[in-house]
Amino acid sequence: MSLFETKNVYKGCRTKKEIQQARKGDSRMGFEHTDKNRLASFQAICLLFILLHIDLSYGSVSWSLATTPAVFGKDIELHCNLDDNTTLTNHRHWSKGDNVNVLVVNGKTVNDTKYSEKLDKAKRTSILTITSLEPGDVNVPYTCQHGFHTYKKVLNMTVENFEYHPSSNNAIFKQVDDHILFSMKFEKVFPLPACRASIGGKNITQLLNISSVRNHVFYKVEVSLKYHHISKKCIHRPFELDCCVGTKTIKQRFETANDVCIEIDHQAKPGVQEQEKDQTLGLVGLAVFVVFAGVFVGGFILGIIIKECNKCRGLR
């Protein structure tokens, strides 16, 4: 499975408010289709007519994704707006898939570790909670039924509403001669990350290479960079990388040192050794001097004592 180069456009990570505004804008846009091929346009019109016919035949019940962003591994909610002309005591029913696999009936779930439902009477809303979102929960139809009214729609995994945050990444940072080599891999991520790189505050994002390949519903991504790093001064400058995965920011930071810094460090170490050597020689010399001085003084005193003793013998 080979990686394909991906265009990197870093605009900062999205906020939840921006996601909600985008969803409102999408709902106002409705259906749009532009194609130069007349046959394709005719097919699109027929499909639109069929979809409108199905929605109208289902009545006024409808559901929508309420959790934005919907993050894989976390709980999400689908909200079904119930029909105003039907009493709340009527039958409520959530199902999944084309084969209508029942999930919840009037609050009673077939799998209490995965699905649950509660009724907000004030808002006339049936709330389906899907625990720990996983790939099998997306790109499949969900059906909400209230009384005789039914609404079926696919929970499409879109870049605007869904995110998979990688739990770890394999980041490698090296300095080879006067080059910085950096690489980082995401085995699973969604949507595609947008990254920004800098060194010492200088923007070097244009040097980033981002390659990706689609693996089921997620992407496998590799981010790499090779930067020619030269400085005549010994300055340790940080290398920083910020990657936005939807609303989440993934940060990497490494300290750099150029060849001048390394050369100075190597020169500094021998200097310290020479200083320690001089100190050692000084101590040895001092010790030798003290010994010789002690011998000299001792000999001088001993000579005086012997001389005095000889005088005493002469007097006797």
Residue 221, C-beta contacts closer than 8 angstroms, at least 6 positions apart? 3, 6, 185, 186, 189, 192, 193, 210, 211, 212
Backbone phi, psi, residue 250, to 5°: -110, 125
User: What is the predicted pLDDT for the residue at 102?
Assistant: 96
Q: Are 64 and 154 spatial neighbours (Cβ–Cβ below 8 Å)?
A: no
Mean pLDDT on 131-141: 97
pLDDT over 70 at 20, yes or no: no
For residue 250, the surrounding DSSP H or E stretch is strand 248-255
Mean pLDDT on 271-280: 51
User: What is the predicted pLDDT for the residue at 57?
Assistant: 36
Mean pLDDT on 40-55: 43
DSSP 300-312: HHHHHHHHHHHHH
* 165-255 shares the fold of 59-155: yes
pLDDT over 70 at 274, yes or no: no
* Domain 165-255 class, CATH top level: mainly beta
**Gap between the Cα atoms of 157 and 41, Å rounded:** 25
Question: Domain 59-155 sits in which CATH superfamily?
Answer: Immunoglobulins (2.60.40.10)
**Gap between the Cα atoms of 36 and 34, Å rounded:** 7
How far from 16 is each of 13, 33, 74, 247, CA to CA, in Å?
10, 28, 16, 7
Which of 75-79, 150-154, 180-184, 311-315 is least confident? 311-315
* 3-state SS class at 37: coil
Q: Are 230 and 178 spatial neighbours (Cβ–Cβ below 8 Å)?
A: yes
- Indicate the pTM of the whole model: 0.66
Confidence of residue 255 (pLDDT cuts 50, 70, 90): confident
How much is the mean pLDDT over the chain?
78
Confidence of residue 9 (pLDDT cuts 50, 70, 90): low
pLDDT over 60 at 105, yes or no: yes
User: What is the predicted pLDDT for the residue at 114?
Assistant: 97
Confidence of residue 88 (pLDDT cuts 50, 70, 90): confident
Mean pLDDT on 45-50: 41
pLDDT over 90 at 280, yes or no: no
| Per-domain residue ranges of the chain | 59-155, 165-255
User: What is the predicted pLDDT for the residue at 264?
Assistant: 45
Mean pLDDT on 127-152: 96
User: What is the predicted pLDDT for the residue at 258?
Assistant: 62
Could you read off the pLDDT of 191-223 as tens digits, one per residue?
999 999 999 889 999 999 999 999 889 999 999
For residue 10, give the nearest of 279, 158, 144, 196 by alpha carbon. 196
For residue 267, the one-letter residue type is Q
